[in-house]
Copies of this chain bind each other. A is one copy, B any other.
Amino acid sequence: MEELLYAIGISAVAVSAMTGVLEAGRKPIDLFGVVLVALTSALGGGTVRDLLLDRRVFWLEDPTYLFAAIGAGLAAVALVRMVRLPKNLFLIPDALGLALFTVLGTHIALMLDVHWFAATLLGVVTGVVGGVLRDMLCNEVPLVFSGELYGTAAWSGTLVYAALLGAGVADSGAALVAMTVVFGLRMAAVQWRITLPTFVAR
């Protein structure tokens, strides 16, 4: 179980780094900038979570995450220069990354005796903040605000996770269901363009 979680975490970091490269690639940014955006995108959410929890930052604890992010980022750079990728190709692993980061973040917060509701928020932070920082660096209104269900998908999943744990379901089972909820909601939102109502004050 632990080893599986570890492999999942590494994969999520790599995938997020790749999405950072795709985003940065639309701007007049040089190669170093691309690497910086990739690292921010991949490690930002978990870093903010660890700072808030006063926990040693995960990629300083274990630099494997760092290498995974840089390797995946450079691979994405090479890939994008060689073949024209369909934009949608990354939506599936991105949704997977969101699901993994969110539930993992909630799990870590709960292990540190954080109130369950705050823990669900820290899970959302883990899943979402990397992308928000990425978009802020690129000087855009963060995608999480204007696109199809994203943060909402993440939060729904973590609330399901907390509810299942509260009902006595085993951790691995609850995590699996919660990840499925996040991934399923996000994929459905992309497929059928489901959005929350946009809120504009009069």
Contact = CB atoms under 8 A, between A and B. Distances in A.
B141 A27 contact: yes
Contact of A29 (B21, B39, B199): B199
29 contacts: A25-B199, A25-B200, A25-B201, A26-B200, A27-B141, A29-B145, A29-B199, A30-B145, A30-B198, A30-B199, A32-B145, A32-B151, A32-B155, A32-B196, A33-B142, A33-B144, A33-B151, A33-B199, A36-B144, A36-B145, A47-B52, A53-B60, A60-B118, A63-B117, A66-B121, A80-B201, A136-B136, A137-B145, A139-B141
A32 B24 CA distance: 25
A51 interface: yes
Interface string A57-71: 101100100110000
Interface of A: 21-22, 24-34, 36, 39, 47, 51-54, 56-57, 59-60, 63, 66-67, 77, 80, 84, 114-115, 117-118, 121, 132, 136-142, 144-146, 149-152, 155, 195-202
Nearest to A112: B60
Contacts of A31: 152, 196-197, 199
Contacts of A33: 142, 144-146, 151, 199
Question: How many copies of the polypeptide does the oligomer hold?
Answer: 3
Given A21-B201, A32-B155, 16 more contacts: A26-B201, A30-B146, A30-B199, A32-B145, A32-B149, A33-B145, A36-B151, A52-B60, A53-B60, A54-B57, A60-B115, A60-B118, A63-B115, A66-B118, A80-B201, A80-B202
Contacts of A202: 80, 84
